[in-house]
Amino acid sequence: MSHAFPSTRDEALASMRNWMPKVANYAARRNHVEVGHASVSRLSPPIRNRLLLEQEVADEALSLAGERAEKFVQEVYWRSYWKGWLEMRPIMWRRFLDELEKVPDSDRHRAASVMDGESGVQIMDHFARELVETGYMHNHARMWFASFWVHVMRLPWQLGADFFFRHLLDGDAAANTLSWRWVAGLHTKGKNYLVRRSNIERYVDTEILNACSDGMNRLHNAKTHTIQETEAPVAPNPEAFSPTSLEEDNDADGLWIHEEDLVPETSVLGAHEFKSIAVTAPRDVWRSLGFSEGRIAYQSSCLDDAHRRAKDHWKLETNVLETKSLAEDIAAWASKASLKRVITLRPFTGPLGDRLIKVSETLSTEGIELICLSRPEDADLLPHATHGFFRFWKAVERDRLPAHFSR
């Protein structure tokens, strides 16, 4: 799969600036699923990997279109909301993994045909093939497909979330898992999302519809499939975020750069001096998670760019660890470099976050401390994700975008 999405910082900035003249029309066109998806920015993969930061994308949009860009900026901050919500309730990620493991083989067998684009509903098969072939699916199509999976095919939402997560270039644990829970009626009590044939026919480009009309009758009278949560809701823990700065300098610090945040030079670490730098590209770990080769190639390309920028910014040779055992390889690098501390921008809840305890324990056996820092903007904003999005959005308007929103 060739990279149809920017995989370097420079490409991402150029893509953002090239698309932004369309931002004023985003609210009117964002739900339309078109060939090429020109009405949406398709910046979600570089935002997810933090080749672009949410704040700079929002500022660019608002500087060009003012309040006409509000809907676009809200969509950018939905990803932040999901991250904050899950970060304060990480048990929901672990529940998802446990539930996924327990899905019976009979459901996995039924799901295989839908994932292969052979459900018999051609429009859904088109979306499934697009996801597998390109690593992308329009947001409106994601909602339709997830609803079709849950409410029409009556398949476990966990399998669908895993399908998306393995292929989406912008897939992160929070936005993906929690969006599927919302469609299934589990995230917000009493609310789910039901696919409608009329909605698809209204918003899908005729070029796509004309080639994908078979099976549409199966969506005509879709009914909600009610799913019961077996475990109690979880209260948020606003103390879930790490410190945002180093209390003291150390001449034996190493910087660990990973796929969760690829612009550490723009963070509080940008002015810090390091003795050694390592970039981890754990392709074998990603394969063990079932990531598609397209997603692996994209993340690898993004990490290659981070490697080059780190060398230029800190004027240091940078180690690339194509690791099979993340914890052991980081510890081996740190020990060889005679480090006393390994410092990183803290990964969010998800596959990499799951490995932090093991990394910390393994480093500790070598007498090396692991220090994880949150970006100050994350630590300030994401704890507001305690309830629904629009309460969170008020905090965004007040704390992050006051120059643009004065209501």
- Sequence-separated (6 or more) residues with CB below 8 Å from residue 48: 79, 169, 170, 171, 172, 175
Identify the helix (H) or strand (E) that includes residue 257: strand 253-257
Model confidence at 1, in pLDDT bands (50, 70, 90)?
very low
| pLDDT digit string, tens, across residues 162-212 | 999 999 999 999 999 999 999 999 998 878 899 999 999 999 999 999 999
Alpha-carbon distance of 257 to 306, in angstroms, equals 8
Q: Report the pLDDT value the prediction gives residue 2, as an integer from 0 to 100.
A: 42
Q: Name all contacts of 354-359 with Cβ < 8 Å and 24+ positions apart.
A: 355/285, 355/326, 355/327, 358/326, 358/327, 359/326, 359/327, 359/330, 359/331
User: Is the pLDDT at 340 greater than 50, yes or no?
Assistant: yes
Which of 85-89, 90-94, 400-404 bottoms out in mean pLDDT, i.e. has the lowest? 400-404
Any bridge partners for residue 276, and if so which? Answer: 254
Model confidence at 406, in pLDDT bands (50, 70, 90)?
low
Mean pLDDT score, 309-319: 96
Model confidence at 333, in pLDDT bands (50, 70, 90)?
very high
Pairing mode, strands 253-257 and 276-280: parallel
**Neighbour order of strands in the sheet with 369-373:** 318-321, 276-280, 253-257, 341-345, 369-373
Backbone angles phi, psi at 343, to 5 degrees: -115, 135
Alpha-carbon distance of 33 to 21, in angstroms, equals 19
Q: Report the pLDDT value the prediction gives residue 3, as an integer from 0 to 100.
A: 53
- Picking from 121, 169, 399, 406, the residue whose alpha carbon sits closest to that of residue 286 is 169
Mean pLDDT score, 131-157: 98
Q: Report the pLDDT value the prediction gives residue 63, as an integer from 0 to 100.
A: 95
- Sequence-separated (6 or more) residues with CB below 8 Å from residue 154: 225
- Number of Cβ atoms within 10 Å of the Cβ of 190: 5
- Picking from 78, 77, 42, the residue whose alpha carbon sits closest to that of residue 187 is 78
Contact (CB, 8 A) for 263 and 306: yes
- Sequence-separated (6 or more) residues with CB below 8 Å from residue 230: none
| pLDDT digit string, tens, across residues 33-84 | 999 999 999 999 999 999 999 999 999 999 999 999 999 999 999 999 999 9
- Picking from 64, 222, 239, 31, the residue whose alpha carbon sits closest to that of residue 140 is 31
Backbone angles phi, psi at 321, to 5 degrees: -100, 100
Contact (CB, 8 A) for 329 and 284: no
User: Is the pLDDT at 136 greater than 70, yes or no?
Assistant: yes
The average confidence (pLDDT) of the chain is 94
- Number of Cβ atoms within 10 Å of the Cβ of 149: 29
Please name the residue that has the structure tokens 């327990």.
102
Q: Report the pLDDT value the prediction gives residue 220, as an integer from 0 to 100.
A: 87
Angle at 167 between CA 162 and CA 168, to 5 degrees: 100
Cα atoms found within 13 Å of the Cα of residue 131, Cβ hemisphere only: 29
Mean pLDDT score, 100-122: 97
| pLDDT digit string, tens, across residues 241-294 | 999 999 887 899 999 999 999 999 999 999 999 999 999 999 999 999 999 999
Q: Report the pLDDT value the prediction gives residue 4, as an integer from 0 to 100.
A: 85
